[in-house]
Structure 1
Amino acid sequence: MAYEPISVFDMFKIGVGPSSSHTLGPWRAAQRFLHSLQLQSPLQEVKNVRVLLYGSLAKTGKGHGTDIAIQLGLSGDDPVTFDVHAIDAKMHDIATMNEIILGGLHEINFNPKEDIEFLINESLPFHPNAVTFLCEWKNGNTLAETYYSIGGGFVIKEGEDAAKTAQVQLPFPVDTADELQHWCMKTGMSISEIVIENELAWRSEATTRTGVLNIWQVMKDCIYKGCHTEGYLPGGLNVKRRAHQLNKKLLSGRTYSDADSWMEAIRTGGSQFQYILDWVSCFALAVNEENASFGRVVTAPTNGAAGVIPAVLQYYLVFCNPAQQEDQVLKFLLTASEIGSIFKKGSTISAAMGGCQAEIGVSSAMAAAALTECQGGTQKQVLMAAEIAMEHHLGLTCDPIAGLVQVPCIERNTMGAIKAITASQLALQSTPDFAKVSLDAVVKTMWNTALDMSHKYKETAEGGLAVHIPLSLSEC
């Protein structure tokens, strides 16, 4: 296993929906290709650019907005800051004029229908999510670069050695759960404390704290917006948003003026099991309805699973511990990121490689561990919670109807959130020393399951619900 230091800000990336693998990753790949062009010659010397999409990117790229993301990346726009409300207008301008402004500096002819090719019958061996950029310079020279979107917004250029690109040495290097437990036992520190020490290799503790709290602010804003937006999701399936109506029903007329007073209004509604269960579902629905609408979301660890961690953290802050929220948010997200990195290193967080177990399963394990840490669980109980959550997602397939991150993806986030809470409760009431299954065993099993899983169930829309539900873009 190559040395790969992963920061909390690698696992949690601010971006645009609906998919980290098919939207954010290709967007970042286009930005990297643009930078590569600029290193070789001024952009003004570019004559034309073409894009080839392979494998899963080709098969479900339209539904995931891969073509849109690539055009925005080539235009020099950034997914963290670009105004999501301006996406439609920009795509209309490029398609109407058949021109794109590379890096916002140089205008070239570009017809999205012809210059972005979806090679649905071709796949590259390294990873199903592959994109090749082809450039022709005015002097006749050419350049071709291939990038792989490997899940969670992570991108690797063909021929790139991840080990050689590692820039830091962490005081507590962790590749497996056993290694994480070793450092915890040796130092007496909690998992979140181990993580914050590792983050010092990149930046100051104050900077990390500010950044993590900003990640939560984006998550919280996404929940709030999703709970206050009604209508139908784009894409042609005519899926009606549910979070808005559920939010309205559960509040029963209680008033509020912003996200914080809204949380207080929720809290005053009581603590009945069904009431809390409905809110957890509402939180998760809200995030993934925003994600499906090209809204601003945070990979957690992916866009398709972006609702699980925010829903569980919001549940904790509203119903479990309203005090010292900033400290708890920090502890929660740092712990979650470490669990996510263990899965990324030992298995995958890409549905195109491992099915939905790699997205909802991993996010549920991350949330379960984080919740357990915040609830005062021991280090072993935290790892046990992650194991329980993933154990009961093993084999979960990815079968998006019409290639959209809507059905069954949105509801699966509610299931992942509820399983995370249940897994945490089980771990808190258990003695990990008697557990029969370790987190590392589950990570290994998940990867073996991914290898055995038919490609039809790996984000291709060629199996499962995607072919058994009589819905298609042409029929809607």
Structure 2
Amino acid sequence: MSISAFDLFKIGIGPSSSHTVGPMIAANRFAAHLHDIGILPAVHAVRIELYGSLGATGKGHGSDKAVLLGLEGNLPDSINPDHVEPRLAEIRSSRTLLLKGSHPIGCVEKEHVLFFRREALPQHPNGMRFVALDAGANVMTLKEYYSVGDGFVVSKEGQRVNLVQAGSIQVEGELPYPFHCGADLLRMSADSGLTIAALMMENEKHWRSADEIREKMLGIWDVMAASVRRGCSADGELPGPMKVKRRASELHRQLKERSEESLADPLAMLDWVNLYAMAVNEENAAGGRIVTAPTNGAAGALPAVLHYYTRFIPGANRDGIMTFLLSAAAIGLIYKKNASISGAEVGCQGEVGVACSMAAGALAAVLGGTTEQIENAAEIGMEHNLGMTCDPIGGLVQIPYIERNAMGAVKAINAARMALCGNGKHYVSLDNVIKTMMQTGADMKTKYKETSRGGLAVNVIEC
């Protein structure tokens, strides 16, 4: 099945695309399944079993909250983040959940939401099982789903089920430019005379009109920009036992106060790039509304680089924003098709590393790079993130991910600049580095892949 840019850039809530967004979509689909097969009125309770990385770090990533809200019929792109905690409090106090928004069933979390921390389902580290029970606690039906990164969900049978999100559509037939790898992009661009962004636009027109694509894509940018604004204005602590202080708002105040001093510092813009990335990922960690780019844990890098373009590059405009996002999406789709963007499968190289690669190529595109230079920038962005582990302290997307997104954004800017200094010719291709990333992820020990059983997660004491 072909993948749209809007499958990659999803509007959702934090803190995790694979642990929050995906489970909410899976739970929503299970509730719909119960309705579709006609047994919903007879369901007395639903048992949710979370396995692998979902079992190990799902509590810190809000997977338990996501599945409860999904069973009630909510979806990540439409739920109001401000309503999440009040509704969860009602479910817990009443011990009642409204299945598909209307049918009351019993819900006691310690009995009905189970975390299997050291067990995994066979098809992916992010596995979950939903079991419908009747009044006698007998199994009526069950379904297994896998959250494979960026909010993509597949059933045990391999069917993609995340297309229930608002605005997602399916149209049969082949895309006009069905690229599957970087080599395809280079060849198709040379043959057609189209840029990567233009090729991507033509493919998107397979599903939507040009006006709708522009409206939706600029809407994605508006959500990204809004997450930066909220992050820059929010004070206090992030959820969880570590009581991590939000830093973006204070950094924002400092940067505004010393604007004249910054004129003498040629690297002052990096402070702003750091700010933009940290603001988004603090919002994500707080359960706010963000855009997966390509995941929640890596949601800050790409908006930070796009803010760098709009704030620091003369002549930046809405057309440039379109070029940036379409170019980034084309690169991200190659990773999705040929490797993985799941930290539970390949470590953080598949999240922040891919975000860095996408942002690097996209920035090279809006700075006037050739197709070869864009591909080179994307390759550099990943090459120097190879082997990055996924080791969230306390199972929370806070440390090291907030700073890690800022570092990814700065690397992306440097990768684009390095590529633009050359002529596009280089030894390591984007396809080579994607293949290497996937192999590296396969070789990486499981404890370094979003389980909180290795790396910083075991060497830093939670306070």
CA distance in 1, matches of 2:135, 2:6: 39
Superposed CA RMSD in Å reads 1.8
How much has 1:87 moved relative to structure 2? 1.2
Q: How does 1:337-348 map to 2 (within 5 A)?
A: 337-348=329-340
CA distance in 1, matches of 2:457, 2:135: 44
SS at match of 2:267: helix
SS at match of 1:382: helix
The answer to whether the Cα contact below 8 Å between 2:52 and 2:121 also exists between their aligned partners in 1 is yes
How much has 1:187 moved relative to structure 2? 0.2
Instruction: Name the counterpart of 1:147.
Output: 145
How much has 1:89 moved relative to structure 2? 1.0
CA distance in 2, matches of 1:18, 1:236: 15
Instruction: Name the counterpart of 2:353.
Output: 361
CA distance in 2, matches of 1:270, 1:101: 57
What letter is aligned with 1:301?
P
What letter is aligned with 1:345?
K
Tell me the percent identity.
Answer: 46
Instruction: Name the counterpart of 1:328.
Output: 320
* CA distances 1:202-260 after superposition (whole Å, capped 9, x unpaired): 11111111000000000000001101111111111111111100100101188xxxxxx
CA distance in 2, matches of 1:167, 1:123: 35
What letter is aligned with 1:189?
L
Q: Name which of 294, 297, 309 aligns with 2:290.
A: 297
SS at match of 2:268: helix
Instruction: Name the counterpart of 1:195.
Output: 200
Instruction: Name the counterpart of 1:382.
Output: 374
The answer to whether the Cα contact below 8 Å between 1:43 and 1:105 also exists between their aligned partners in 2 is no
What letter is aligned with 2:148?
I
Q: Name which of 51, 68, 73 aligns with 2:70.
A: 73
* CA distances 1:59-101 after superposition (whole Å, capped 9, x unpaired): 0000000000001100112211212112111111111111100
What letter is aligned with 1:173?
P
Q: Are the structure 2 counterparts of residues 81 and 151 from structure 1 closer, same or farther at C-alpha, using a change threshold of 3 Å? A: same
Structure 2: gaps spanning 5 or more residues: 162-169
Relative to the length of structure 1, the TM-score reads: 0.93
* CA distances 1:14-39 after superposition (whole Å, capped 9, x unpaired): 00000000000000101111111111
Structure 1: gaps spanning 5 or more residues: 255-265
Instruction: Name the counterpart of 1:436.
Output: 427
The answer to whether the Cα contact below 8 Å between 1:349 and 1:358 also exists between their aligned partners in 2 is yes
How much has 1:274 moved relative to structure 2? 2.5
What letter is aligned with 1:389?
G
How much has 1:167 moved relative to structure 2? 3.8
Task: Tell me whether 41-50 or 421-430 shows the greater mean CA deviation.
Answer: 41-50
CA distance in 1, matches of 2:197, 2:263: 31
CA distance in 1, matches of 2:228, 2:215: 20
Aligned pair 1:128/2:125, yes or no?
yes
Aligned pair 1:281/2:274, yes or no?
yes
Q: How does 1:311-322 map to 2 (within 5 A)?
A: 311-322=304-315
How much has 1:160 moved relative to structure 2? 2.6
How much has 1:270 moved relative to structure 2? 4.4
Q: Name which of 212, 225, 228 aligns with 2:230.
A: 225
The answer to whether the Cα contact below 8 Å between 2:153 and 2:160 also exists between their aligned partners in 1 is no
What letter is aligned with 2:210?
E
Instruction: Name the counterpart of 1:6.
Output: 3
How much has 1:136 moved relative to structure 2? 2.4
Q: Name which of 392, 408, 411 aligns with 1:416.
A: 408
Task: Tell me whether 132-141 or 327-336 shows the greater mean CA deviation.
Answer: 132-141
The answer to whether the Cα contact below 8 Å between 1:232 and 1:239 also exists between their aligned partners in 2 is yes
Instruction: Name the counterpart of 1:82.
Output: 79
How much has 1:272 moved relative to structure 2? 4.0
Aligned pair 1:103/2:100, yes or no?
yes
Instruction: Name the counterpart of 1:262.
Output: none
CA distance in 2, matches of 1:425, 1:44: 60
How much has 1:441 moved relative to structure 2? 0.2
The answer to whether the Cα contact below 8 Å between 1:5 and 1:166 also exists between their aligned partners in 2 is no
Q: Name which of 289, 303, 307 aligns with 2:300.
A: 307
